[in-house]
Amino acid sequence: MALMITDECINCDVCEPECPNGAISQGDEIYVIDPNKCTQCVGHYDTPQCVEVCPVDCIPLNPDYVESEEELMAKYERLMAEKQT
């Protein structure tokens, strides 16, 4: 599953630079996660780095984007291939 940021976000700016896929950006009111780029850090780290640094625990799984570990790894591989071009 991709992750999402809830409206409990306090815009502290710590999650954005932690995302190895560049999936986190400033939205209209709070930070947002692009589900097409979020791999829960699969391929990079053992745990999602944004969740690790979030001081208010506002980054749950996004129920609209259910993905297996294998699908997350395939997304990671696709994103890395796109970076090469």
16-84 domain in CATH 1.10.630.10? no
Round to whole Å and give the CA distance between 54 and 68. Answer: 24
Q: What is the dihedral of CA 1, 51, 26, 6, to 10 degrees?
A: 70
The pLDDT of residue 80 is 95
Torsion sign across C-alpha atoms 17, 3, 31, 77: positive
The pLDDT of residue 46 is 96
Q: Is residue 85 over pLDDT 80?
A: no
- Name the band, by pLDDT with cuts 50, 70 and 90, for residue 84: confident
**23-68 residue pLDDT tens:** 999 999 999 999 999 999 999 999 999 999 999 999 999 999 999 9
- Name the band, by pLDDT with cuts 50, 70 and 90, for residue 71: very high
